[in-house]
Amino acid sequence: MSNEQPEIGSMVWIDLTVPDAEKVRDFYSEVVGWATSEVDMGGYADFSMNTPGSGTTITGVCHAQGVNKDMPPAWMPYFVVADLDVSIAKCTENGGAIVVQPRSLGEGRFCVVKDPAGAVAALYQV
């Protein structure tokens, strides 16, 4: 994620958490052409998926273990909110559900929500 303060409502990141991250890493590397680099998770590695030319990190592919064990196997967009606790309350008031409880991420906090149709997304507060 960028060091600049992101705009409320913007999507700042997307990643994928799956049981077999190596297999999925290799799939997207072959299909999309992404280069990969390891991200040490303390006992195992998740993966940054990077453009082959500039090496810019585009997304992440993560193991469904450790801090990510409760993440659903779906491409997860991270949307910036002004106040995570207020957004969580509005989520449940409007027919959504909390899938992953709030926790720290970098200099902010996030949680994963499910909308009334069943789609999941992360809410992120810097």
What CATH number did the domain enclosing 51 receive? 3.10.180.10
Tokens of 78: 């991270």
100 within a domain of the structure (yes/no)? yes
Across 53-60, average pLDDT: 96
19 within a domain of the structure (yes/no)? yes
Tens-place pLDDT, residues 57-116: 999 999 999 888 988 899 999 999 999 999 999 999 999 999 999 999 888 999 999 999
Residue 43's Cβ-count burial label (10 Å; 0-12, 13-18, 19+) is: exposed
Q: pTM here?
A: 0.88
Quote the pLDDT of residue 106. 83
113 within a domain of the structure (yes/no)? yes
Instruction: State whether 84 and 47 are in the same domain.
Output: no
Letter for the amino acid at 42?
G
Please tell me the total count of domains within the chain: 2
97-105 and 75-80 beta bridge pairing: unpaired
Range of the domain at 17: 11-69
Quote the pLDDT of residue 67. 84
5 within a domain of the structure (yes/no)? no
Letter for the amino acid at 31?
V
Determine the Cα–Cα distance for residues 38 and 101; give it in Å rounded to an integer. 26
1 within a domain of the structure (yes/no)? no
Quote the pLDDT of residue 70. 86
Tens-place pLDDT, residues 6-17: 999 999 999 999
4 within a domain of the structure (yes/no)? no
